[in-house]
Amino acid sequence: MRLTGTKEGCASGDCGACTVITGTADQHGNTRYEAINSCITLLGSLHGKELITVEAFQQEPRHPVQQGMMEKQGAQCGFCTPGIVMSLTALHAN
């Protein structure tokens, strides 16, 4: 798959570099998005869920979270920035 945007930083769920988004449909068919630490998530717990990595945000136009981070110069070193984008995107989506 060659998806390299999600990083493993601490391997204990503390740093957020491994953050991805899961989507789960509720009983009304609405999707609830949640940011999770992929480094400590068991694969079986993702069964039936949508999984979104930072690579989903490579196309134009930019997602509002990406645009806001750019306009306000909200980037860090680049290693944990994808995790920050994913966490904010999950909040924005709900």
Query: Is residue 24 one of the residues assigned to a domain?
Result: yes
> What's this model's pTM, rounded to 2 decimal places?
0.84
Residue of 48, 46, 67 whose CA lies nearest to 57: 67
**Residue 49, in any domain of the structure:** yes
Span 29-49, average pLDDT? 96
Domain contains 48: yes
Number of compact structural domains in the chain: 1
Query: Does the residue 45 lie in any domain?
Result: yes
The answer to whether residue 52 is domain-embedded is yes
Residues in the chain: 94
CA 54 to each of CA 17, 26, 28, 29, 45: distance values in angstroms, whole numbers, following the listed order? 11, 24, 27, 24, 20
pLDDT at 72: 85
Q: Is residue 8 part of a domain?
A: no
Residue 69 lies in a domain: yes
Give residue 21's pLDDT band: very low, low, confident or very high (50, 70, 90): very high
The whole domain housing 50 covers: 19-93
